[in-house]
């Protein structure tokens, strides 16, 4: 029987965990308390920390003296525990400071999309990227430290618990399509292209568009690996530029490996490889001073890639394409690769683009996989070619 799970370190957060458990039970939901601590609990958990620790992939003992090692090991153990017991979880809520947040989120990230996940944390008002990752965890600031109940923490915890209960009790949305799902990558500077592709394919496919912000590409590839997506139209590969040149929205080094592993149909392009992303101007590394920048807004600074950098990008992407045994095509828009890279635009640089295009041509061993088009990436003709190419791969 599925149940709401309440997770945390019962040695230091027992009072708060018991409060959450009682709220869940009072709502009529079954509740399971999972202890993530390494010392004797102050309340009785339904799942002991020893049971969680036993799921560690290496069977490693959980240290009770080295806190850093303990947090790391318990995080791995709880991730394995969630993979094993995820089908029993109707929703999960956790409380924690720095260590507890790291452990709990490591487990929650392993649960499927759509399972309600709330993390009440002292760190929730800061940079939570490392904790949320590509998941749909909702981070709730605890405001006060999680160090015993008080007039404010009771309200925060109650709101979080009832938010979770509401999500668990809510009926699932009606299925609106039985069409197969595909993933598409988009940035603001490739929006016209991806929107047009989606419009052309919507009658055949459920089009899931992912913002190419690093986590967007990772989430898309995770869903491909899980079989949720049946193919990708990866127009906006800009995350690779951030990976290679130190931008703030990077892919991981395994970008595109899932395409090779699954042999899924993939139509890609070089969208927004004319730019590397940084935050406000003062965040740009010193080594890039004097480069060509475009200030997208006060908090986002774009740096134009050079011919030499585009050679590196071409070799990296070309090698990934060569590793794919499945149906893949890479489309090249010869008249520009983003809304900024257009004749008269701030990033218009035919020499830099030519370096990218020629390197891809020199690197990709099967010339049939590379399609040059005399269009700008946001031209309707390019979008039609991308949609038609995907259909040719999937519905020959």
pLDDT of res. 93: 98
Q: What is the DSSP letter of 198?
A: H
Q: Torsions phi, psi of 25, nearest 5?
A: -65, -40
Question: Can you list the residues of the chain whose pLDDT is less than 50?
Answer: none
CA atoms within 13 A of residue 26's CA, in its CB half-sphere: 9
pLDDT of res. 116: 98
Give the integer Cα–Cα distance in Å for 41 and 180.
47
pLDDT of res. 177: 72
Q: What is the DSSP letter of 382?
A: H
CATH superfamily of 181-394: Uncharacterised protein family UPF0261, NC domain (3.40.50.12030)
pLDDT of res. 124: 97
What pLDDT, in 10s, does the model give residues 105-144?
999 999 999 999 999 999 999 999 999 999 999 999 999 9
Residue-by-residue DSSP string for 237-279 = -THHHHHHHT-SSPPPTTTTHHHHHHT--EEEE-TTTTEEEES
Residue-by-residue DSSP string for 126-137 = S--HHHHTTS-P
Q: Where are the beta strands (DSSP E) in the chain?
A: 3-8, 31-35, 89-96, 117-121, 138-141, 181-186, 206-211, 232-234, 266-269, 275-278, 293-297, 300-304, 328-333, 370-373
pLDDT of res. 33: 98
On whether the CB atoms of residues 78 and 102 are closer than 8 A, the answer is no
pLDDT of res. 125: 92
Angle between helices 307-322 and 350-363 (to 10 degrees): 30
Residue-by-residue DSSP string for 28-75 = T--EEEEE--SS--SS--SB-HHHHHTT-TT-PPPPSS-HHHHHHHHH
- The Cα-based distances of 240 to 177, 234, 243, 249 in angstroms read 32, 12, 5, 9
Instruction: Select from 187, 312, 167 the least CA-distant residue to 239.
Output: 187
The domains of the chain are located at 3-169, 181-394
3-169 and 181-394 have identical folds = yes
pLDDT of res. 66: 86
Select 3-169's CATH number: 1.10.220.110, 3.90.330.10, 1.20.210.10, 3.40.50.12020. Answer: 3.40.50.12020
């Amino acid at each position: 029987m599925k149940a709401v799970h309440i997770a945390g370190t019962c040695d230091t957060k027992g009072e708060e965990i018991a409060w959450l458990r009682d709220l869940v039970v009072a709502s009529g939901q079954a509740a399971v308390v999972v202890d993530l601590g390494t010392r004797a609990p102050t309340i009785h958990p339904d799942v002991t920390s020893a049971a969680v620790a036993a799921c560690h992939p290496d069977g490693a003992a959980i240290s009770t003296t080295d806190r850093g090692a303990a947090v790391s090991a318990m995080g791995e153990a709880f991730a394995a525990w969630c993979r094993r017991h995820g089908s029993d979880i109707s929703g999960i809520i956790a409380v924690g400071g720095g260590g507890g947040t790291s452990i709990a989120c490591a487990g929650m990230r392993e649960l499927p999309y759509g399972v309600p996940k709330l993390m009440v944390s002292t760190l929730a008002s800061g940079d939570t990227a490392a904790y949320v990752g590509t998941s749909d965890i909702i981070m709730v600031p605890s405001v006060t430290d999680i160090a015993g109940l008080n007039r404010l923490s009771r309200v925060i915890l109650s709101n979080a618990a009832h938010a979770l209960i509401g999500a668990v009790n809510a009926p699932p949305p009606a299925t609106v399509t039985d069409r197969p799902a595909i993933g598409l990558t988009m940035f603001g500077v490739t929006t016209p292209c991806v929107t047009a592709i989606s419009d052309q394919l919507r009658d055949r496919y459920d089009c899931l568009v992912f913002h190419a912000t690093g986590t967007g590409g990772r989430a898309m590839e995770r869903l491909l690996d899980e079989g949720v997506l049946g193919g990708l139209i990866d127009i906006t590969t800009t995350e690779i530029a951030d990976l290679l040149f130190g931008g703030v929205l990077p892919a991981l080094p395994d970008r595109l490996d899932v395409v090779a592993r699954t042999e899924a149909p993939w139509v890609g392009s070089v969208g927004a490889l004319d730019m590397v992303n940084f935050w406000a101007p003062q965040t740009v590394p010193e080594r890039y001073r004097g480069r060509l920048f475009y200030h997208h807004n006060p908090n986002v600074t774009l740096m134009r890639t050079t011919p030499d950098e585009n050679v590196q990008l071409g070799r990296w992407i070309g090698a990934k394409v060569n590793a794919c045994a499945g149906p893949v095509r890479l489309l090249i828009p010869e008249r520009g690769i983003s809304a900024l890279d257009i004749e008269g635009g701030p990033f218009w640089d035919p020499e830099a683009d030519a370096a990218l295009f020629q390197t891809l041509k020199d690197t990709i061993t099967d010339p049939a996989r590379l399609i040059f088009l005399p269009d700008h990436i946001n031209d309707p003709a390019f979008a039609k070619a991308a949609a038609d190419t995907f259909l040719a791969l999937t519905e020959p």
